[in-house]
Homo-oligomer: A and B are copies of this chain.
Amino acid sequence: MSFNTTGQLFRFTSWGESHGPAIGCVVDGCPPGIALSEADIQPYMDRRRPGQSKYTTQRREPDRVEILSGVYEGETTGTPIALVVHNVDQRSKDYSEIAAKFRPGHADYTYDMKYGRRDPRGGGRSSARETAMRVAAGAVARKVLDALVPGGVSVRGALVQMGPHGIDRDRWRWEAVDENPFFCPDPQAAERWADYLDGVRKAGSSCGAVIEVVADGAPPGLGAPIYGKLDADLAAAMMSINAVKGVEIGAGFASAALSGEENADEIRIGNDGRPIFRANNAGGVLGGISSGQPVVVRFAVKPTSSILTPRDTVTSAGEETEIVTKGRHDPCVGIRAVPVGEAMAALVLADHLLRHRAQCGPPLDPIPPLKRD
């Protein structure tokens, strides 16, 4: 069962509320002998951390991660790894309005319907704050991938659409992603987005986004035919991120409009005897199993529901009213979803790597040459 756990063999269980004393997670199933310290995790935490530009929430959280178990003398021991981050900036605030009114687009109503109660402080468990632990666990997953896959696996994400504004893929540079506050791979688009998002923010509004995550170096063979499909697990992982409403692999929804000839990625043999695919409409997954091509996932994030514009809603007592969500919010919550999407992809790949080892054994070679002479 998976209420708050994800993964089958590389398992990640998270806990904690936005304004509780701490948030944390347990990473179970990690192979032994992998070098791991807080310093391996902190850079990814810092990348997702709030309050780093005017485009993200001004809550100030150092997000300092601590390893409480599972590591001895700098290496994983094979026992569960407990990670914790203490909450610092739980600004004392009056939550009585949120407690009584259902914010449109939020989980307030559905939590109340399911559990008959909810922790209203900062959104409680439904807050995006929970994603900090995904990033922490994802950093451990990256270490596993790099240790077990020859050549390592690179998992990188980028914002490819902000509101209605896309990028020019010909200008894509991965280095650019870290040179602007939007994780945008197209520097010119990033400049335009800055103006656009300023306007959105000043209008008390918000906007959505599309994120693309690419994993290079994932070996072929990850996944399973029917209900353990790699793409199905990636879809679930991305859809589990707060505010995500759509997921696609490779050509995705655009593939519906392609012809069979256009869509099927033809295969040739390279000089080294390895297969070369002429295109990657498949996004690196065929029949639910990785092909060795880059794994490409995109997901859509809806606009932040917490806005300064008044919206009609009702109270838990059934009175009609309106609400303005004041406080510190990201005008485009999709921005900070980039490191989260990367983390989820790393977690899914690490899990499937262990699942593959279980059934089919090692070693997971890089794409083997078909032609040998």
Q: Which residues of B are found within 8 Å of A5, using beta-carbon distances?
A: 5, 11, 13, 28, 227
**What's the Cα separation between A240 and B233 when bound, in Å?**
9
Contact B114 A360 (CB under 8 A): yes
The 6 residue pairs across chains A and B that have the minimum distance between CB atoms: A107-B287, A318-B371, A105-B264, A318-B370, A246-B248, A206-B260
Residues 282 to 300 of chain A near chain B (Cβ within 8 Å): 282-283, 285-292, 300
**What's the Cα separation between A287 and B111 when bound, in Å?**
8
A302 contacts chain B at the CB level, 8 A cutoff: yes
Task: Name the segment of A41-49, A66-74, A168-176, A177-185 touching the other chain.
Answer: A66-74
Q: Which residues of B are found within 8 Å of A302, using beta-carbon distances?
A: 251, 255-256, 258, 263, 281
How many of these chains are in the complex? 4
**What's the Cα separation between A191 and B130 when bound, in Å?**
49
- Complex partner residue of A307 from B14, B102, B261, CB under 8 angstroms: B261
Contact B109 A275 (CB under 8 A): yes
Contact A240 B263 (CB under 8 A): no
Q: Which residues of B are found within 8 Å of A109, using beta-carbon distances?
A: 220, 267, 275, 286, 291
**What's the Cα separation between A229 and B247 when bound, in Å?**
15
Q: Which residues of B are found within 8 Å of A232, using beta-carbon distances?
A: 235-237, 239-240
A300-B256, A357-B357 given; A264·B305 CB < 8 A: yes
- Complex partner residue of A235 from B16, B22, B247, B306, CB under 8 angstroms: B247
